[in-house]
Amino acid sequence: MFRSAQHDNRNVTASTSEPRSNRAFNLRLPQRFTKTAIMAMMHVNRGATSLGVFSEEQIREGLRTGRFASSDIAWREGMPNWQPLSQFAEFAGVASDAPPLQSGTTVPAAAPRSGLPWEHRQDRGFFNAFVETLVMVLTKPGTAFAVMRTEGGLGEPLLYAIIGGGAGVIVWFIFSLILNSLGFLNPRETSFGPMVGMSVSFVMLVWRLVAVAIAPFIFGGLVHLALMVVGGANKAFETTFRVISFSQGSTAPLQLVPCCGGLVALVWCLVANCIGVARAHEIDTGRATLAVLLPVIVCCGGGMLLLFMFGGLALLQHNSSH
């Protein structure tokens, strides 16, 4: 009877002592648990990394969902050594084939982008796809650029930008011709007035159409360079170009609004660019806004500096002449 008590005491001492493999992983059991609670919980490790302490039900659910792998090792009070979860009888047949989730990784994989209506114009029709994309970018830019494909070439977005920007330019040209024919834009004293006015309008038409085509390349390049500076260029230049092109093509028709159309188009284009860059490159809105506004600030600041420099030189020359 005495030997039996000693044997039981040795068993209790052995069962409550920390296993050698546990000391190898430098783990310490939480002292606040009672012995019953400790025995009900299991320590789970993946290699030398502790995943935490879990109940049997949590581990069973984790094996089903792929949170734990059958190769993960576990230990609980009373066990002499760590064992793989696959060797526990209570978890037999529970482990799934899903790969285990690594610590710090994102659970869902990024879903493929469905694309803007313009990217499905073969199915929706040319005109409908353009109008749907324009309305979507103007009213729901966050959703629009969240579904916009980040790859697919430069041709589609460039064509959209040319159509949207060119529509405003062509309407402006038509109004110029009408005003020209009525004599508002040319002097009436000479017979060559209407001809000169039409020539100027035609030159401006060609120049504006060229500007519409090259603007996405220039501004897109500057924005992408700014993204690289602020650490937000998670995608290639193509992605930035697509954002700038779809923003330009959607906001350019706002220039046709009387009186303040140009200002509205400019402001909303910048807003759409900021939101689009953030969604397309998957960065925070702050960095995206900085990347979009940085080229504008630099260009405007440089222009103002040149203006002050030339103004100062002119003032000096004027003072020296007197």
Q: CA geometry: angle at 164 spanning 163 and 168, to 5°?
A: 105
Q: Could you give the dihedral angle defined by the CA atoms of residues 225, 221, 119 and 256, in that order, rounded to the nearest 10 degrees?
A: 120
pTM above 0.85, yes or no: no
Of 9 and 198, more confident: 198
**Of the candidates 219, 217, 223, 216, the residue with the CA atom closest to the CA atom of residue 246:** 216
pLDDT at 106 over 50: no
pLDDT in tens, 15-29: 444 444 444 444 444
pLDDT at 101 over 50: no
**Of the candidates 172, 148, 171, the residue with the CA atom closest to the CA atom of residue 160:** 148
Please tell me the predicted confidence (pLDDT) of residue 93. Answer: 67
Q: How far apart are CA 239 and CA 233, in angstroms?
A: 9
Q: How far apart are CA 244 and CA 261, in angstroms?
A: 19
Rg value, the chain, Cα:
35
43: phi then psi, degrees, rounded to nearest 5: -90, 130
As beta bridge partners, residue 42 has 54
Average pLDDT, stretch 227-241? 93
To the nearest whole number, what is the mean pLDDT of the chain?
Answer: 78
Of the candidate ranges 104-113, 139-148, 174-183, the one whose mean pLDDT is the lowest: 104-113
pLDDT at 227 over 50: yes
The identity of residue 207, as a single letter, is: W
As beta bridge partners, residue 41 has 55
Q: How many CA atoms lie within 13 A of 253 on its CB side?
A: 16
Asked if residue 85 lies in contact with residue 72, where contact means CB atoms within 8 angstroms, the answer is yes
- Using CA atoms, how far residue 240 sits from 26, 71, 280, 298, in Å, is 49, 44, 8, 19
